[in-house]
Amino acid sequence: MAGSALRRLMAEYKQLTLNPPEGIVAGPINEENFFDWECLIVGPDGTCFEGGVFPAKLTFPTDYPLSPPKMQFTCEMFHPNIYSDGRVCISILHAPGDDPLGYESSAERWSPVQSVEKILLSVISMLAEPNDESGANIDAAKMWRENRAEFDRIATRIVRKSLNIPL
């Protein structure tokens, strides 16, 4: 199984280098191990994360693409759909099939037709439009809903920190 996963990851990496989506850089940490990737995601224009450059890592299972990778930001993030340790919580990264809690449809969850590019584009979309109904970070979700000015202030500080601009 790992052989087909490796071939798939190599093909996706080639595609990302030939035709990189705007605001995304991603690839294996080293070419000896295609199952651990690093990414840089630029905060989307017109959002409180605009202009920030946020590093993250993707860890792929040996049965990829049958199972989804795990994604974790390696910098400080404050967002309703990002756990305090940086793990990303979005539907596309949830195991395929029915949601045991009944919140997500199986069509929203991982399927082998997804790709690294689709994951990263979904994360950019998530940064722009959080799902505050399914908060991985309850404090961020509550602040997003009830005190957007304070949320934006924290996001601006995180953007500045991501760029090594004095706070």
Would you say 64 and 5 are in contact if contact means Cβ atoms under 8 Å apart?
yes
Euclidean distance between CA atoms 96 and 103, whole angstroms: 13
Q: Is the dihedral of CA 23, 29, 34, 35 positive or negative?
A: negative
Euclidean distance between CA atoms 104 and 126, whole angstroms: 16
Determine the Cα angle at 81 with ends 75 and 84, to 5°.
Answer: 45
The DSSP call for residue 49 is: T
Would you say 10 and 19 are in contact if contact means Cβ atoms under 8 Å apart?
no
Q: Catalytic residue numbers?
A: 89
Euclidean distance between CA atoms 61 and 130, whole angstroms: 26
Would you say 163 and 53 are in contact if contact means Cβ atoms under 8 Å apart?
yes
